[in-house]
Amino acid sequence: MSTVSELLAQKAAIEQQIAEAQRAERADAIAKVRALMTEYGLTAADLAARAAPVKKRSGTKVPAKYRDAATGDTWSGRGLQPKWLRAALANGRKLEEFAV
């Protein structure tokens, strides 16, 4: 049975082996990248170049499709129907009556 100090020593040795393996793998990866850059004539500036950023569409306002003439309330036709429109439809009015 191992003591805590022996286990901690083993842990330190394993962590050192992991660090050495990571350094070696990183060095191999860098060598491969350099070889590819040489093969294709690339520079660091080529790697830094990026495509134009994609514009986000969130927050865009959608024009109203339906309006209550009495109150001026509007609805774009997306999402749930607002309460004012549901109430009007329940009272027998038609959706086309509110079209903008």
- What is d(CA 12, CA 16) in angstroms, rounded to the nearest whole number? 6
Angle, alpha carbons 11-13-18 (nearest 5°): 90
The pLDDT tens digits of the residues spanning 12-24 come to 999 999 999 999 9
66-98 CATH pick, 1.20.58, 1.10.760, 4.10.430, 3.40.190: 4.10.430
For residues 58 and 42, the model is more confident at 42
Question: Which DSSP symbol is given to 76?
Answer: -
Report which residue type is found at 99. A
| pTM attached to this predicted model | 0.44
Which stretches of the chain are assigned E, i.e. beta strand? 66-67, 74-75
- What is d(CA 37, CA 7) in angstroms, rounded to the nearest whole number? 45
The pLDDT tens digits of the residues spanning 54-97 come to 777 777 788 999 998 888 999 999 989 999 999 999 999 999 99
Report which residue type is found at 64. A
Each domain of the chain, given as residue ranges in start order, spans 4-48, 66-98
- What is d(CA 76, CA 61) in angstroms, rounded to the nearest whole number? 9
